[in-house]
Amino acid sequence: MYYITQSPITFAAVILRFQEGLSPETIRRECFPSLPLAHIYSAINFYLSNQEQVENYLEQVKREEDELQQRLLATYPEFIKTAEELRERVTSAPQK
């Protein structure tokens, strides 16, 4: 896992927001206000200059996250029930 310099924010988190269509300014304002804008631009610049490598890396990260999620759900199946109950409460709650 790669992190943005001097921050707990992952490179993948920034790039995924950029791929969703967010501008660097929006990424900073709405997602990571503590991250200097220059760091966001640097991450995006690296991504654009090394797109094939970064895409492969992002696919690897996604696979690892999926595998971890499957292991956690297999180990703690009660989380599925808890998540389903929470989803039901949220969707059935009266709208304000």
45 and 3 together in one domain: yes
1 and 41 together in one domain: yes
Residues 4/22, Cβ–Cβ less than 8 Å: no
With respect to residue 57, please indicate whether it lies within any of the assigned structural domains.
no
With respect to residue 4, please indicate whether it lies within any of the assigned structural domains.
yes
DSSP label at residue 94: P
32 and 4 together in one domain: yes
With respect to residue 54, please indicate whether it lies within any of the assigned structural domains.
no
Higher pLDDT, 94 or 21: 21
40 and 83 together in one domain: no
With respect to residue 55, please indicate whether it lies within any of the assigned structural domains.
no
4-53 residue pLDDT tens:
999 999 999 999 999 999 999 999 999 999 999 999 999 999 999 999 99
Residues 21/30, Cβ–Cβ less than 8 Å: no
Could you tell me the pTM of the whole model?
0.74
**In which band, very low, low, confident or very high, does the pLDDT at 83 lie, cut at 50, 70 and 90?**
confident
Average pLDDT over residues 59-68: 92
